[in-house]
Amino acid sequence: MRRPSVMALMMICCLVLTVTPANAAVVPGVTYRGEGTFYGATGVGNCSYDATSDTGIAALNHTDYGNSAMCGAYLRVTGPLGEVTVKIVDRCPECAQGDVDLSQAAFAKIANPVAGRVPISWRLLSPDVSGPVSYRYKEGSSQWWCGIQVRNHRNPVAKLEVRAASGWMALPRLEYNYFVSQSGAGCGADIRITDIYGQTLTDTGIAIRERVDQPGKAQFAKR
The rounded distance, in Å, linking the Cα atoms of 88 and 178 is 15
Has residue 131 got a pLDDT over 50? yes
Q: What share of the chain is helix, strand, coil (3-state, %, to 5)?
A: 10, 35, 55
pLDDT the model gives residue 4: 40
Q: What is the pLDDT of residues 150-167, one digit of tens each?
A: 999 999 999 999 999 999
Q: What's the CA gap between 6 and 186, in Å, rounded?
A: 47
pLDDT at 11: 38
Mean pLDDT of the 190-208 span: 98
| Half-sphere CA count of 100, side-chain side, radius 13 A | 32
Q: Are 40 and 84 in contact (CB under 8 A)?
A: no
In single-letter form, the type of residue at position 172 comes to P
Q: What is the pLDDT of residue 15?
A: 34
pLDDT of residue 22: 37
| pLDDT tens column, 41-57 | 999 999 999 999 999 99
Q: Please tell me the pTM assigned to this model.
A: 0.88
pLDDT tens digits, one per residue of 138-149: 999 999 999 999
User: How many whole angstroms from its chain centre is CA 116?
Assistant: 26
Cβ within 8 Å of residue 192, ≥6 positions away: 160, 161, 162, 163, 168, 200, 201, 202, 203
CB count within 10 Å of CB 2 equals: 4
* Mean of the per-residue pLDDT values of the chain: 91
pLDDT at 33 over 50: yes
- The pLDDT assigned to 203 comes to 98
Confidence of residue 105 (pLDDT cuts 50, 70, 90): very high
34 pLDDT band, cuts 50/70/90, is very high
